[in-house]
Structure 1
Amino acid sequence: MMNRRKFLASGIAAGLSAPLLSLPAWADTGAPRLLTATDVHVSDYPTVEAVRWIGQTLERETQGRLKIRLYHSGQLGREAEAIDMARYGAIDMTRVYAGALNNAFPLTQALCLPYVFDSVAHMRRAMDSDISDVVLQSFQRRGLVGLAIYDSGARCFYNARKPIQRPGDLHGMKIRVPGSDIFIDLLRDLGANPTPLSLGETFSGMETHMIDGAENNLRSFHSSRHFEAARYWSESEHSYAPDILLISQKSLEALVPDDRALLLRTARQSVQVMRTLWDASEQVARKAILDYGVQINAVDMPAFRAAAKPLLDQYLAQPDIQSLYRRIRDFA
């Protein structure tokens, strides 16, 4: 299996040693091109399958001239590492969670705020509008191009100790969060002790009692097998923050115009492919965790919304974030 160290040492990543402004020999020639893509999720995860579909479509439409080699299951490292690798051209494409982008790309904060979306349907309506174009275009300031915005479901709390029904139930609990100020501050406001960890470290963190639980979507809860360590799933639905598919601006601009247009178009079309897979796999995941004995409970939603409001108000003091937030709420 390829890992990040082997990858960076291989000829695939040889472009790192060249000046960043230089273009490889295949640039703008129409020569065969192999694009590398990464994802921390497992092989059958909907985002992985969607990128695989993009690769299959590109290969078919270009008679094999344009292909994607996909490294899933975190083979090339964490999301934060993948973002930097794409920015500097060591890889071409990566799918990352929007929360991992908040600090470097502030407009993504509007997508990650607590209770900005009411449901999956609300999120999809908003992301099918030009709101997604505004967010995707913002990546070009730092060497990336946004290709598509994928679903990531409703993020909820899960833990090994007890059902979470009100914010007070989280008091003192150590909860894994992604490395995003929004999620760290939200958990702190809810009375928990936020613990930033990578997805890959979460299972062992619960097993060793370094943390009590985490928050994530149901599909990831299942695919990561966290349900084996945490038997309580509490449907707080505090975030529907999506995933974002990115490509290195250097890699995209090096393609011939027709291939560039094909890639951009195919990436947008992959959103519906991903959604179809997501809906089906989420049903499978819910049945699987119930069969395993996980207890699912509703929460006091007004209490959670009230507890999250100070954080929401803090971010809405930023004009750009407030503007996007209001446009998103128009689709509720």
Structure 2
Amino acid sequence: MIKYTLGSFLLLTLLLTACTGPRGVRLIKLGHGLGVTHPVHEAMVFMAKRVEEKSEGKVQIRVYPNQQLGTERELVELLQIGSLGMTKVSSATLESFAPKIQVLSMPYLFRDDAHRDKVLKGEIGKQLLSESEEFWLKGLVYYDAGKRSFYTKTKSVESPEDLKGLKVRTLESNMAINMIKTFGSSPTPVSYGELYTALQQGIVDGAENNPPSLYTSRHYEVCKFYSINEHTAVPDVVIVSTKVWNTLDDEEKRWIQEAADESAVFQYKLWAASVEESLREMEKAGVTITYPDPTPFREAVESLYESFKITEPEMYEMVERIRRVE
């Protein structure tokens, strides 16, 4: 069932995606919520450039950052009705449209980066990318969104005990919400674009995200404690509206898919460099960065896996498949 927000309807009158460029040019609009210095934005600009080069200008992708066209949720809804061509979302956001993809939000699912990459680039990753097509959303490629850790305003989080009683901003994801509850915190979904103000005003006491997002959003100006426990490695996904995709011919689809794949390789390199720079610059800015023992956090979320085994047996089988990947 598609849900439309007021923002979606207002934007609907402004957005025409396919065949709105100069004569003979296929113009596709891509909106997202990140700033222009974020490595994910840079990768999508790279993708747009490669599409234009491959098609010799016949297909062009125009990138709109900083929630210019709506929040992440609104952008997904606009894709569903074909009023926007492409966007980047956290795989956690896709859970509402493709429930099986929530497996990627399971805490401490991957053994290490190599294990994660094998899963996402293999058959399981391809299967999950296609899960949302019945909801008019086609996954093209995964981007590295690093590992998510806690940042807070008043104290460092060295164990799950330190999270008890805190209001923690979380993604609009059942799995993320349940994880925060397991740690004893109050999960509070807040739009990424509104989070800085929410932290300032005390609507939330902290949040969880990767180093580049914490740095480029400047949330570190409010939150001076970053506890790198790396509880999840939720990837980003570049998605396209099937209502737009199905208007493309095979050659146009090939250009876009190839450019998306190339942009992912580019983005992974940017991401690694950005993580190092972000941590370095935040430390200079007075952020206390710690590396707590992940063992207590892992133990705290084991109950999620046990409940999954009972309530979501098919999903738990996917977990087992992921764990078996060598």
RMSD: 1.9
Deviations 1:148-195 (A, max 9, x none): 011111100000111111111111011111111111111111111111
Give the Cα–Cα distance (whole angstroms) in 2 for the partners of residues 249 and 313 of structure 1.
36
Per-residue deviation, 1:282: 1.2
Give the Cα–Cα distance (whole angstroms) in 2 for the partners of residues 9 and 230 of structure 1.
38
Give the Cα–Cα distance (whole angstroms) in 2 for the partners of residues 231 and 121 of structure 1.
31
Give the Cα–Cα distance (whole angstroms) in 1 for the partners of residues 112 and 84 of structure 2.
33
Per-residue deviation, 1:316: 3.7
Give the Cα–Cα distance (whole angstroms) in 2 for the partners of residues 159 and 56 of structure 1.
38
Answering whether residue 290 of structure 2 is matched by residue 329 of structure 1, we say no
- Structure 1 pair 45–25 and aligned structure 2 pair: CA distance change class (3 A): closer
Give the Cα–Cα distance (whole angstroms) in 2 for the partners of residues 322 and 270 of structure 1.
32
- Structure 1 pair 48–322 and aligned structure 2 pair: CA distance change class (3 A): same
Answering whether residue 1 of structure 2 is matched by residue 8 of structure 1, we say no
Which letter does structure 2 place at the counterpart of 1:36? K
- SS at structure 2 position matched to 1:254: coil
The aligned length equals: 317
- SS at structure 1 position matched to 2:127: helix
Give the Cα–Cα distance (whole angstroms) in 1 for the partners of residues 263 and 191 of structure 2.
26
* Partner of residue 60, structure 1: 53
How do 1:197-276 residues align onto structure 2 when only pairs under 5 Å count?
197-276=190-269
Give the Cα–Cα distance (whole angstroms) in 2 for the partners of residues 320 and 274 of structure 1.
32
- SS at structure 2 position matched to 1:102: helix
* Partner of residue 172, structure 1: 165
* Partner of residue 154, structure 1: 147
Asked if structure 2 preserves the Cα contact closer than 8 Å seen for 1:159 and 1:214, the reply is: yes
Answering whether residue 313 of structure 2 is matched by residue 319 of structure 1, we say yes
Give the Cα–Cα distance (whole angstroms) in 1 for the partners of residues 127 and 9 of structure 2.
35
Structure 2 unaligned runs (5+)?
1-6
Which letter does structure 1 place at the counterpart of 2:122? S
Give the Cα–Cα distance (whole angstroms) in 2 for the partners of residues 6 and 179 of structure 1.
22
Answering whether residue 284 of structure 2 is matched by residue 291 of structure 1, we say yes
Per-residue deviation, 1:315: 2.5
Which letter does structure 1 place at the counterpart of 2:95? N
Which residue, 293, 306, 324 being the options, matches 1:300? Answer: 293
Structure 1 unaligned runs (5+)?
16-23
Per-residue deviation, 1:69: 0.6
Answering whether residue 113 of structure 2 is matched by residue 109 of structure 1, we say no
Question: What percent of counterpart residues are identical?
Answer: 29
Give the Cα–Cα distance (whole angstroms) in 2 for the partners of residues 6 and 62 of structure 1.
32
- Structure 1 pair 175–204 and aligned structure 2 pair: CA distance change class (3 A): same
Give the Cα–Cα distance (whole angstroms) in 2 for the partners of residues 137 and 319 of structure 1.
20
* Partner of residue 87, structure 1: 80
Give the Cα–Cα distance (whole angstroms) in 2 for the partners of residues 218 and 225 of structure 1.
11
- SS at structure 1 position matched to 2:60: strand
Asked if structure 2 preserves the Cα contact closer than 8 Å seen for 1:120 and 1:154, the reply is: no
Asked if structure 2 preserves the Cα contact closer than 8 Å seen for 1:119 and 1:240, the reply is: no
Which letter does structure 1 place at the counterpart of 2:211? L
Per-residue deviation, 1:219: 0.8
Asked if structure 1 preserves the Cα contact closer than 8 Å seen for 2:8 and 2:74, the reply is: no
Which letter does structure 2 place at the counterpart of 1:321? M
Asked if structure 1 preserves the Cα contact closer than 8 Å seen for 2:97 and 2:132, the reply is: no
Which letter does structure 1 place at the counterpart of 2:314? D
Per-residue deviation, 1:130: 1.6
Query: Structure 1 residue runs of 4+, over 6 Å off?
Result: 3-6
Which letter does structure 2 place at the counterpart of 1:8? L
Give the Cα–Cα distance (whole angstroms) in 1 for the partners of residues 101 and 152 of structure 2.
27
